[in-house]
Chains A and B, each alone.
Chain A
């Protein structure tokens, strides 16, 4: 009895703490910054001084062979296998870079710190990382900088002063614009849509939704936002939530956004099983492999994500440029091999570009 009582008390506490917001604040205190409505609009670069760190007493490595270690959030998943592939491609192309990927098998802040710590002790020329936590990783990265090791992040940032540069795969407002534009193209300017997300406070998802709301109000004011539902990152729950939305709104619902790589395929499955392909559009963030069947069946036309192979490729190119002294504080762009020149934004971030849209014509080229 008592056990049940404590459980119930615990649940009430949890429920009491969960608050739903009518205005999406992104679960943080940052302001939204919607992009321009025209196709290909990029953020107006507001000049911001370099806010990254600098290694103390770094060796002169210009043109010399360098050894890098890449510590992603975790290893053994398709996404980071793709970034690793991109890194190897860049290393091969450059010819004077050795890069090894190693990291925890679970996205665990403590394990990741231990890995980085060991590589600092081992002595490398540069560290690449995708942080499991921006603050927790900072002390160990600062230690690396303090020993003259170059530090470049990608995919998930740390505090700016704990690394030199960060390769940003897509800005939040860029994702927001791509998602809403793709939806508007499919369901029209006056269509109604709903969103399936993880939780209202998950950092990335909440931020994306806040940007989507701001962008839709600015550029597609007649689109109607019906509802946003939580589905954790749970396959079955996502499917059930999407099915509920389809039943609840019937013909009124023209489109579903999936905000996670779980929610998007689950929403596509719900639409397929309800035999509403072509009537209800699904647009979302997802990895290509999960979406291939729905794209092949013409049930989903656009899957939004960046290209992780290019992301890994760019990270190694940026590191090489740093070691060669070609990328220094105050630069406005950096040469990144086959990707051309990449712009510098937010002081010390290298922007990979606009998000990548996977469609029937290109999705089969990717395997992750």
Chain B
């Protein structure tokens, strides 16, 4: 812990290390990309378009926040997309087929998400199943449950008030963007300013060491996997509200978008480093790149190639910085 604090102090001091921080570089790249794309088409840098993009990225963003906490500890959660699908189905099925009032069905969906995340965390900490294996298994299991419950039928015809969440605005800004903003602030404070957050870094650096320094490793892990499930559930409810229907294939492949955003944001997949700010920049960058390239007339398959190249470059950059930094010490 002491070395960690020292490292943090070292990072904060002087302009040169600060400039070389991943988030700063990412922000610079983001601004350059914005200017470049805005010069290509006048449809890109408009308030309407940017707010609309905010609406589209909210679900990935909400799930990327707990994913950052998990990856900081050196773990991974591949089941988030399936949890999103399961929660969407629970919402639709309990409302339409079981006659549960919609507000209660929304709470049930969140509850199921939380429970699904708790199950992941329980097996990972108590049965010692590696996170990759456990969440790969539940990726299939939760999706299977969603398909089994829904029987390939989608649920539609939600009342108008429900669409406020996914399609409505509050003071001119999409509703879900407010939710995302609040969640970003809370998780950023938790990760950067609390003993809990520092404990997560410690687990990622050296789990055994963290255990011996008295950090309740298992409890912390259980909390973040449960939180991840809850956020996937929340994203699921917002998703259903945005697209006004419920299908069992919702959220397929979400985990990859989320992990890409987190890694692009500078969180090391091996754990120990990463910030919420980086993750936020990561998912904004991916969303705006996709949107900007599409608006300038780049085709969908080419856009994916560009995203892939950006990811590789970002990882090369991070490695380069880390080598420079360790060389300076």
- Asked if A189 is at the interface of the complex by the 8 Å CB criterion, the answer is no
**Contacts A114-B290, A135-B156, A203-B152: A105 and B304 contacting too (C-beta < 8 A)?**
yes
Contact B52–A14 (Cβ < 8 Å): no
Contact A10–B141 (Cβ < 8 Å): yes
Q: Which residues of A contact B294 (CB under 8 A)?
A: 102, 115, 118-119, 122
- Asked if A191 is at the interface of the complex by the 8 Å CB criterion, the answer is no
Stretch in B25-33, B200-208, B244-252 with 4+ CB within 8 Å of A: B244-252
Q: Which of B123-159 contact A (CB under 8 A)?
A: 123, 127, 137, 141, 144-145, 147-149, 151-154, 156
Contact B247–A13 (Cβ < 8 Å): no
Closest B residue, CB atoms, query A103: B300
Contact among A10, A27, A133, A202 with B247 in the assembled complex (CB-CB below 8 Å): A133
Majority SS of interface residues in chain B? helix
**Contacts A14-B148, A104-B300: A121 and B43 contacting too (C-beta < 8 A)?**
yes
- Asked if B187 is at the interface of the complex by the 8 Å CB criterion, the answer is no
Contact A201–B153 (Cβ < 8 Å): yes
**Contacts A3-B127, A110-B243: A118 and B295 contacting too (C-beta < 8 A)?**
yes
- Asked if A187 is at the interface of the complex by the 8 Å CB criterion, the answer is no
Q: Which residues of B contact A17 (CB under 8 A)?
A: 148-149, 151
Q: Which residues of A contact B300 (CB under 8 A)?
A: 75, 102-105, 115
Contact A109–B49 (Cβ < 8 Å): no
Contact B250–A109 (Cβ < 8 Å): yes
Closest A residue, CB atoms, query B163: A139
Contact A122–B247 (Cβ < 8 Å): no
Closest A residue, CB atoms, query B56: A114
- Asked if B94 is at the interface of the complex by the 8 Å CB criterion, the answer is no
Closest B residue, CB atoms, query A74: B300
Q: How large is the interface on B (under 10, 10 to 19, 20 to 34, 35 or more residues)?
A: 35 or more
- Asked if B299 is at the interface of the complex by the 8 Å CB criterion, the answer is yes
C-alpha gap A237/B137 in the complex (Å)? 22
**Contacts A76-B301, A106-B253, A133-B243: A117 and B145 contacting too (C-beta < 8 A)?**
no
- Asked if B11 is at the interface of the complex by the 8 Å CB criterion, the answer is no
A155 to chain B minimum Cβ distance, whole angstroms, is 18
Q: Which residues of B contact A28 (CB under 8 A)?
A: 153
Interface size on A, residues (CB 8 A): 39
Most chain A CB within 10 A, of B167, B252, B300, is at B300
Contact A10–B145 (Cβ < 8 Å): yes
Closest A residue, CB atoms, query B240: A136
Contact among A114, A119, A139 with B244 in the assembled complex (CB-CB below 8 Å): A139
Contact among B52, B119, B253, B297 with A117 in the assembled complex (CB-CB below 8 Å): B52
Contact among B43, B145, B252 with A14 in the assembled complex (CB-CB below 8 Å): B145
**Contacts A7-B141, A117-B56, A122-B41: A18 and B243 contacting too (C-beta < 8 A)?**
no
C-alpha gap A169/B148 in the complex (Å)? 30
C-alpha gap A117/B49 in the complex (Å)? 9
Q: Which residues of B contact A36 (CB under 8 A)?
A: none
A215-235 vs B: 1/0 string, CB under 8 Å? 000000000000000000000
- Asked if A108 is at the interface of the complex by the 8 Å CB criterion, the answer is yes
A144 to chain B minimum Cβ distance, whole angstroms, is 13
Closest B residue, CB atoms, query A122: B295
C-alpha gap A2/B290 in the complex (Å)? 43
Closest B residue, CB atoms, query A12: B148
- Asked if A113 is at the interface of the complex by the 8 Å CB criterion, the answer is yes
Q: Which residues of B contact A85 (CB under 8 A)?
A: none
A93-133 vs B: 1/0 string, CB under 8 Å? 00000000011111011100111011101110000000001
A132-162 vs B: 1/0 string, CB under 8 Å? 0101101100000000000000000000000
**Contacts A109-B250, A122-B43: A138 and B145 contacting too (C-beta < 8 A)?**
no
C-alpha gap A119/B144 in the complex (Å)? 34
**Contacts A76-B301, A123-B43, A135-B154: A109 and B247 contacting too (C-beta < 8 A)?**
yes
C-alpha gap A7/B138 in the complex (Å)? 10
- Asked if A199 is at the interface of the complex by the 8 Å CB criterion, the answer is yes
Q: Which residues of B contact A113 (CB under 8 A)?
A: 243
Q: Which residues of B contact A118 (CB under 8 A)?
A: 291, 294-295
C-alpha gap A104/B156 in the complex (Å)? 24
A207 to chain B minimum Cβ distance, whole angstroms, is 12
Q: Which of A308-343 contact B (CB under 8 A)?
A: none
Contact B144–A10 (Cβ < 8 Å): yes
Closest A residue, CB atoms, query B297: A122
Most chain B CB within 10 A, of A106, A114, A199, is at A114
Contact B144–A14 (Cβ < 8 Å): yes
Contact among B56, B123, B141, B245 with A136 in the assembled complex (CB-CB below 8 Å): B245
Q: Which residues of B contact A136 (CB under 8 A)?
A: 243-245, 247
C-alpha gap A122/B41 in the complex (Å)? 9
Most chain A CB within 10 A, of B123, B145, B243, is at B243
Contact B151–A18 (Cβ < 8 Å): yes
Contact A202–B243 (Cβ < 8 Å): no
C-alpha gap A203/B148 in the complex (Å)? 15
Most chain A CB within 10 A, of B48, B123, B151, B297, is at B151
C-alpha gap A117/B56 in the complex (Å)? 10
C-alpha gap A113/B166 in the complex (Å)? 14
Q: Which residues of B contact A106 (CB under 8 A)?
A: 252-253
Contact B43–A75 (Cβ < 8 Å): no
- 11 more contacts with CB within 8 A, not counting A105-B304, A118-B291, A201-B151, are A2-B127, A10-B148, A18-B151, A108-B253, A114-B290, A114-B291, A119-B294, A122-B294, A122-B295, A133-B247, A135-B245
What are 12 A-B pairs with beta-carbon distances under 8 A? A3-B123, A10-B144, A10-B145, A18-B148, A27-B151, A106-B253, A115-B300, A117-B52, A121-B52, A135-B156, A139-B244, A199-B152
